[in-house]
Amino acid sequence: VSAKVTFAGHDSVVDCGHRETLLRAGLRAGLQLPYECASGGCGSCRAQIVNGEVETLWEDAVGLTERDRRRGNRLLMCQSMPTGDCVIKAPSTSIPEGVEEPAPERFAAHLAGRELLTSDTALFTLELDASLRFLPGQFMLFESDSGIRRAYSMAHPLGKGSAVEFVIRAKPDGAASKWLFEELTDGDALTIEGPYGRAYARPNTTRPVLCVAGGTGLAPILAITEHLLSAGGQPSLHLYVGARADGDLVLLERLLQLRDSGALVSLSAEQLSGAVGDHPLAPVRNGLVIEHVANDWPQLAKHDIYLAGPAGMVDAALRAFVRGGDAKADRVFFDRFIA
């Protein structure tokens, strides 16, 4: 134990391990703390430090505003590690009834496979030193020896023994992208931490379901769709998958299996080159996936909606479906890939 952290408002004193973030320590202790990205990008884990000091993983994290910084006592729990005992005033959130979120842990892992699906997107398989329990739709933080920490979502619903799969797109000049695509080779070790994320599948619903993926948002949406189809209950499940170009639509065979298990699958791309050919899931619709969903479903009040993909796409969907439409905000579950 390196520090005792008092979470004021939660009536709780938590042991925080060496180089453990406040967020992980609090979640591990079962506190209902608000968070979304666990990566410093969204600001939803903002808290106040009342007493003591912390070390910050990412000084310029965009989750803190200039106003927060001027106040001097605001921090992001996902980016802060106490350097001694401290008192934190953190808001709380409510976890859905009946859901048990697995506590985030650290795992030793090694790269067991990296299969290129397009020129910049690959299916990564990691072997872990222990089996990982997670809810479909959750993500892990990948950590390099040099301290890069980035979030990636599991691409299947349940642990496949000790192997876990991810779909990752390389961002030009991105630090993690360079590490994962150019430096890491088969058998190399890395640490992963999690599971994190609250945009997980809510099975046993009697509401129709829409699952909407943009780009590598496909990973958590595959996990959620597969899980909901095997749990059953929902009267229908429509799966929308969007990409910039039709050549970027990947894992079509897995999408086909989901169609055969009962999902109605629709593919969208902003640019069409005929790359999908006469695949059984063709034709690919031309345009933005969000516009296709909005056109197909002028009424969304009865739906459960799962969204994952680039932050811009998810924000546009929230504007169209919740603010501009009648979707119920508490039945929209979203994962913004803040990159």
Ligand X SMILES: Cc1cc2nc3c(=O)[nH]c(=O)nc-3n(C[C@H](O)[C@H](O)[C@H](O)COP(=O)(O)OP(=O)(O)OC[C@H]3O[C@@H](n4cnc5c(N)ncnc54)[C@H](O)[C@@H]3O)c2cc1C
Q: Which residues bind ligand X (CB under 6 A)?
A: 37, 39-41, 57-58, 62, 139, 149-153, 166-169, 171, 174-177, 197, 216, 219, 335, 337-339
Residue 6 binds which of ligand FES, ligand X, none (CB < 5-8 A, kind-dependent): none
Bridge partners (DSSP) listed for residue 80: 56
Q: Which is nearer to ligand X, 138 or 266 (CB)?
A: 138
Residue 78 binds which of ligand FES, ligand X, none (CB < 5-8 A, kind-dependent): ligand FES
Q: Which is nearer to ligand FES, 24 or 238 (CB)?
A: 24
Q: Which is nearer to ligand FES, 43 or 214 (CB)?
A: 43
Residue 44 binds which of ligand FES, ligand X, none (CB < 5-8 A, kind-dependent): ligand FES
Q: Which is nearer to ligand X, 14 or 212 (CB)?
A: 212
Burial class (CB in 10 A: 0-12, 13-18, 19+), 272: middle
Residue 216 binds which of ligand FES, ligand X, none (CB < 5-8 A, kind-dependent): ligand X
For the CB of residue 246, give the shortest distance to ligand X in the complex, in Å: 19
* Site for ligand FES, rule CB under 6 A: 35-38, 40-45, 63, 76, 78
Q: State both tokens at 86.
A: 């401290």
For the CB of residue 38, give the shortest distance to ligand FES in the complex, in Å: 5
Q: What are phi and psi of 185, to 5 degrees?
A: -120, 165
Q: Which is nearer to ligand FES, 47 or 180 (CB)?
A: 47
For the CB of residue 233, give the shortest distance to ligand X in the complex, in Å: 26
For the CB of residue 64, give the shortest distance to ligand FES in the complex, in Å: 8
Residue 339 binds which of ligand FES, ligand X, none (CB < 5-8 A, kind-dependent): ligand X
Q: Which is nearer to ligand X, 195 or 285 (CB)?
A: 195
Q: Which is nearer to ligand X, 41 or 300 (CB)?
A: 41
Residue 245 binds which of ligand X, ligand FES, none (CB < 5-8 A, kind-dependent): none
For the CB of residue 36, give the shortest distance to ligand FES in the complex, in Å: 5
* Pairing label, strands 209-214, 189-196: unpaired
Residue 219 binds which of ligand X, ligand FES, none (CB < 5-8 A, kind-dependent): ligand X
Q: Which is nearer to ligand X, 171 or 254 (CB)?
A: 171
Residue 58 binds which of ligand X, ligand FES, none (CB < 5-8 A, kind-dependent): ligand X
Q: Among 24, 20, 19, 25, which Cα is nearest to 6's?
A: 25
For the CB of residue 116, give the shortest distance to ligand FES in the complex, in Å: 30
SS (H, E, C) the chain: CCEEEEEECCCEEEEECCCCCHHHHHHHCCCCCCCCCCCCCCCCCEEEEEECCEEECCCCCCCCCHHHHHHCCEEEHHHEEECCCEEEECCCCCCCCCCCCCCCEEEEEEEEEEEECCCCEEEEEEEECCCCCCCCCCEEEEECCCCCEEEEEECCCCCECCEEEEEEECCCCCHHHHHHHHHCCCCCEEEEEEEECCCCCCCCCCCCEEEEEEHHHHHHHHHHHHHHHHHCCCCCEEEEEEEEEHHHCCCHHHHHHHHHCCCEEEEEEEECCCCCCCCCCCCCEECCHHHHHHHHCCCCCCCEEEEEEEHHHHHHHHHHHHHCCCCCHHHEEEEEECC
CB-based closest residue to ligand X = 174
